[in-house]
Amino acid sequence: MKIAWCITGAGHFLKESFEAFRSIKKGVRPGPSNLKPQPSTLKITIFISNAGVEVLRMYGIFDKLKEISNGEYMEEIFTEKEQGSSSPKAGRFSLRKYDAVVVSPATSNTVAKIAYGIADSLVTNVVSLASKACIPVYVVPTDGFPGKVESEMPYSIDREKCKGCDDCEPRDRCKEEAIYGAPIPQIDLLRCNGCGLCLELCPYGAINGGVVEIKAREIDIRNVGLLRKMEGITVLEHPTHFFLFYKKGNLC
Ligand SMILES: Cc1cc2nc3c(=O)[nH]c(=O)nc-3n(C[C@H](O)[C@H](O)[C@H](O)COP(=O)(O)O)c2cc1C
């Protein structure tokens, strides 16, 4: 079985998506599942949006993707930056090389584009060409349902707990030089690789991720509603649901 896993720039459901695909790759069912994982025949190609690359790094997951896709044929990791504006590797969908596409997590931005037929990025091109080739597409939106969700944030500095030490170990020992400024430093998340060393080094516990509550906007819920009505697209509530709801077979 060959799966195209598309990652967009969302923190919500990111770790859950990673854990689900890593489990299935290791031959472990990631929750209730109809799929019998057969790691030897399962190939996962990863397609990542520009924002996806940044957010994956912030959460310390980017380098771990190799555990799922080792770089061999049909197990590559393609980034939007490398794929330019026309996303040539999305041509694989026209050649029907995949059994399914999973967009997990899917940002409101990417959901809106798919809902309105826009294909101007790597992930939206993958979805567009997969749909034209009748390959089923599964989307896990971050903002698909009314009400609030809890979402884990990347690292930040708690300005109330920070003592503004002259010798700030987290700042001085960050290999990415992502922590800057004095007396109360800040984190440049575009440099941060989410390694978590700073968290361990601060004796005052002033660095943390934390969880925030996010409410879905009405427009995002409406766009997810549009996706539900699109031919060949299945909207899922959680990354593990792909393994439960996947149905074998081309759609036309
Ligand atoms: C740490 C972080 C977490 C984010 N999480 C989400 C999210 O959960 N859902 C969402 O819709 N956008 C989220 N965003 C915003 C998207 O990255 C942004 O809208 C981006 O333009 C999406 O581009 P893409 O859809 O091409 O990946 C997040 C941004 C950052 C920096």
How confident is the chain (252 residues) per 10-residue block, as mean pLDDT? 97 96 88 73 96 98 97 98 95 96 98 98 97 96 91 94 96 97 96 95 94 93 97 95 81 68
Q: What is the CA radius of gyration of the chain?
A: 19
Q: Distance from the CA of 102 to the center of ligand 1, in angstroms?
A: 17
Quick one: pLDDT at residue 61? 97
- Give the mutation target among 18, 54, 55, 58 for probing the ligand 1 site: most ligand atoms within 8 A of CB: 55
Q: Where in the chain is the domain with CATH 3.40.50.1950?
A: 2-146+217-245
58 CB near ligand 1 (under 6 Å): yes
Quick one: pLDDT at residue 41? 87
108 CB near ligand 1 (under 6 Å): yes
Q: Distance from the CA of 8 to the center of ligand 1, in angstroms?
A: 7
Omega cis (within 30) before 105:
yes
Quick one: pLDDT at residue 131? 96
List C-alpha distances in Å: 144 to 46, 100, 128, 227. 23, 21, 20, 10
241 CB near ligand 1 (under 6 Å): no
Quick one: pLDDT at residue 251? 66
Closest Cα to residue 214, out of 148, 142, 146?
148
Quick one: pLDDT at residue 33? 74
110 CB near ligand 1 (under 6 Å): yes
- Classify 154-209 by CATH class: alpha beta
- Give the mutation target among 15, 57, 79, 109 for probing the ligand 1 site: most ligand atoms within 8 A of CB: 109
154 CB near ligand 1 (under 6 Å): yes
Quick one: pLDDT at residue 247? 78
Domain 2-146+217-245: homologous superfamily in CATH? Flavin prenyltransferase-like (3.40.50.1950)
Q: Whose CA is nearest to atom 6 of ligand 1?
A: 10
* Residue 14 CA, closest ligand 1 atom number: 8
Q: Where in the chain is the domain with CATH 3.30.70.20?
A: 154-209
Q: Which residues pair with 45 in a beta bridge?
A: 4
The kind and range of the H/E element at 229 are helix 218-229
φ/ψ bin of 224: left (φ > 0), alpha (ψ from -120 to 50), beta (otherwise): alpha
11 CB near ligand 1 (under 6 Å): yes
Rounded Cα gap, residues 148 and 103, in angstroms? 21
Quick one: pLDDT at residue 10? 97
List C-alpha distances in Å: 134 to 95, 233, 240. 11, 10, 23
Q: Whose CA is nearest to atom 28 of ligand 1?
A: 10
Quick one: pLDDT at residue 37? 67
β-pairing verdict for 137-141 and 100-106: parallel
121 CB near ligand 1 (under 6 Å): yes
49 CB near ligand 1 (under 6 Å): yes
Whole-prediction pTM = 0.95
Amino acid identity for residue 125 in this structure: N
